[in-house]
Structure 1
Amino acid sequence: MRPISNLDIEEQTTETLLYDLATGWSKPFPNWDSDNTLVVVFAAHEYCHLPQPLDALRNAFPQSKIIGCSTPVVVCDGALLPDTISVGIIRFHHTQLRLSYAPVPSFEESRVAGQMLGQQLAAANLKGVLIFSDGVTTEATELVQGLQEMLPPNVTIAGGLASGHSLDDTWMLCDGELKRFHACAVGFMGNAVELTRATGGGWRLIGAECKATRTSGRTLFELDGERAKDVYHRQVGRDIGFGLRESSSRYPLTVRLPGLEMQIVRDVNSVDEDSGAIELAGDIPEGVMVQVMTTTEDDILDGVDEAIDRMRSKTILPQNNALAICVSCAGRRAVLLEKTCEEAALAHDGLGHGIHQIGMYAFGEISTTSSGPPQVHNETITIGLIREY
């Protein structure tokens, strides 16, 4: 295919492309390859076995920074698409990019991986970091804490965890190369770049607030001295209109961390009927206050408006030449079902159709909070908006 000339698109700095097996690439690749061009890729799992389109992308952008990961479905400019590759490209003129990646073979090595990323990205003029990691082998809280230890406290961090059905269909793109059990990140350096992030939920609290009196990592053993399962089932059972047979994605926990105004959501992965322990999708420190939440399809969609409103409170939304990275929790799909396509469309409408948008469904969302350091969230939609002044 013939590349588009720079003269044809002199003022344009962002672009989105799609690939599917039936029609190939949606448009020619822009002739934007440079050290300061970022290419973000979200792809359906099967493209690890169909390397041709990813090879073509890498060949078209040999100098650019290419990062991304697998996901069950992708988002592109308001559309939700299965079996597809979604690509967002942003070309910078006055911003330097630095790419880093590190292996994350297990939960126990996540903090070291984060520290390795931070060491590679650290710079006096670093303004923001976009990060993705394997959602199966990564303990995301440890990864993010390790990353932040190496960086100034005012650096904005956003990203998410690749989702998949198993180790075999979860993978990363690190500098354009397909890798498993890795984390990858790109740093934005200079005074002309902005990385703005915002999150939205759409959940309501039910039941009484309890104290997590015994925990270990992701496992919640006791609430207020009782078996966690007993308290959890008792509170869920009080929610009129839902039964215990409903998916646990309807009933995540909110965790109030000390010193943070914002509460962090944790999905319930499993409940051990024998021990009474609850396994969560992220860490839960001992001693924090916990409360059960629930939602409806419409409330989840209201969470998109919440994220857009928060974005507007942080920046004046540009009309064009910005790239939005939308990372939504895989658990939200379990609630929305056939309405999942409405979430991507609402985000695109709220940001404005002049802003290019790509996205994925993740095993966890990473975002700097309004009142503290970056956190790993579940059951939210997180939007990162990247642009150059």
Structure 2
Amino acid sequence: MKIVQAIKKPNESFVVTDSKKLEEPLVLVFGNRYMLESEHIYDEVKQLFPNGHIVFGTTSGEIIDDNVLDGCVVLTAIEFEKSSILVKRNNVADFKNDDKKLGESLIAEFPKENLKHLFVISEGSTVNGSALIEGLENLKDATFGLSGGLCGDDDRFERTLASYNENPKEGEIIAIGFYGDTLEITSSNYGGWTTFGPERIITKSEGNVLYELDGKPALDLYKTYLGEKANELPKSALLYPLSVKVTEDAEPLVRTILNIDDKENTMTLAGDIPEGARVQLMMSSVDDIANGAFHAAELAMGGRIKSPELALLISCVGRKLVMDQRTEEEIEEVKSVIGDSTVISGFYSYGEMAPFSGQDSCKLHNQTMTLTLFSE
């Protein structure tokens, strides 16, 4: 595996960290939305890697090595020596907001034989991540790993962009399939948040739109808990996500509020919140989040045969808001576990995709650190 990285700062060209020549690399470009709105961004990357498979995604912060950047673009180009990749895309507008159907259509384009892993970069403004994952996993008689994340837009929640081999645009969902017997790919996630306050029952919801808790308007209740911070919604919601427990025995899922509708008195979350589920507010501290990142890395390393050569990190923008000037500590915790020789890239997101530890089925998470580790 050969890897080249580069950083682009505002009003500057890409600064490449390595002079290695790559033939047909996978080029992952994660960056600030304003930077990726440039009409020249695709051409800039293509000049560096004329035969590259170039995937873009907007962020709420860029990760390279153990650094967290803001307002920049980070690029990681990977050339696999014994393995192959296949990249496909769809747009939510072509499926009338039926995200499960979009996922089914996307996975149908991938040959099943020897598919080891699917890594997804999805638009993060409107997608129902739970439905998308359900569609992507609708491939019978196939076992493959699934991880990835929803693009971010800092804490603005205005619009997110992604693309494959073209300038970034709205509504795009990109899936990268990894093939090869020599590939070892593991993924994991962990949060570090704790619940507080009373447990409530979801009495009315539709998909990822929450209407009522205990028969009362959900948004009104939520604003009551937030107090003065309610004036800063939806940004302030990142500090107080919801713990959602679908059944008594199920692992609780963390759900971040992406949008609010004051007129309808509803909240739109990043994934499904079914009626009958129990929810509680959550909160966290800097130390809890850093410890959570350490634990996520331990889970990803568990049982690996080879040391990872590449780590793709997707962490939630809510964690970044809590960590503030200490954000890099969670990346440092990950690096302390996976080792100094592992190349690190990634971004802060509006949602993370990974299975729970010990489980095969992928879930949409919020407020977690998610790792996908590669070696061949």
1:199 paired residue number: 189
Matched letter for residue 69 of structure 1: G
Separation in 1 of the partners of 2:244 and 2:56? Answer: 29
2:125 paired residue number: 136
Q: Paired residue for 1:283, among 272, 280, 283?
A: 272
CA contact (8 A) 2:27 2:52 kept: yes
1:222 paired residue number: 212
2:355 paired residue number: 368
Q: C-alpha offsets along residues 158-211 of structure 1, whole Å, 9 cap, x if unaligned?
A: 1111112365x6321313543332111110112111221111111012134333
Matched letter for residue 150 of structure 1: L
Deviates more, 1:23-32 or 1:299-308: 23-32
Q: C-alpha offsets along residues 18-72 of structure 1, whole Å, 9 cap, x if unaligned?
A: 22244641335521123xx322111222333445564243234333322131114
CA contact (8 A) 1:127 1:190 kept: yes
Separation in 1 of the partners of 2:61 and 2:230? Answer: 28
Q: Paired residue for 1:46, among 28, 34, 39?
A: 34
Deviation at 1:383, TM superposition (A): 0.9
Q: C-alpha offsets along residues 218-256 of structure 1, whole Å, 9 cap, x if unaligned?
A: 23233344443566567779xxxx987893323211112
List runs of 5+ in structure 1 lacking aligned partners.
Answer: 1-11
Aligned positions of 1:345-364 closer than 5 A = 345-364=332-351
Cα 1:52–1:266, aligned 2, differ >3 Å: closer, same or farther? same
Deviation at 1:270, TM superposition (A): 5.8
Higher Cα Rg, which structure: 1
Q: Does 2:310 align with 1:323?
A: yes
Q: Number of aligned residue pairs: give it.
A: 368
1:154 paired residue number: 143
Q: Does 2:115 align with 1:126?
A: yes
1:338 paired residue number: 325
Deviation at 1:130, TM superposition (A): 0.7
Matched letter for residue 74 of structure 2: S
Secondary structure of 1:108's partner?
coil
Q: Does 2:50 align with 1:66?
A: no
2:20 paired residue number: 30
2:176 paired residue number: 186
Separation in 2 of the partners of 1:107 and 1:200? Answer: 33
Deviates more, 1:188-197 or 1:274-283: 274-283
Secondary structure of 1:117's partner?
helix
Cα 1:122–1:261, aligned 2, differ >3 Å: closer, same or farther? farther
Secondary structure of 2:98's partner?
helix
Provide the TM-score with structure 2 as the length reference. Answer: 0.86
List runs of 5+ in structure 2 lacking aligned partners.
Answer: none
Secondary structure of 1:83's partner?
coil
2:199 paired residue number: 209
Tell me the C-alpha RMSD between the 2 structures.
2.9
Separation in 1 of the partners of 2:282 and 2:213? Answer: 15
Cα 1:96–1:22, aligned 2, differ >3 Å: closer, same or farther? closer
Q: Does 2:63 align with 1:75?
A: yes
Deviation at 1:101, TM superposition (A): 0.5
Separation in 2 of the partners of 1:154 and 1:24? Answer: 38
Q: C-alpha offsets along residues 88-123 of structure 1, whole Å, 9 cap, x if unaligned?
A: 222212212111011122772322321221011232
Separation in 1 of the partners of 2:188 and 2:37? Answer: 34
Separation in 1 of the partners of 2:7 and 2:141? Answer: 36
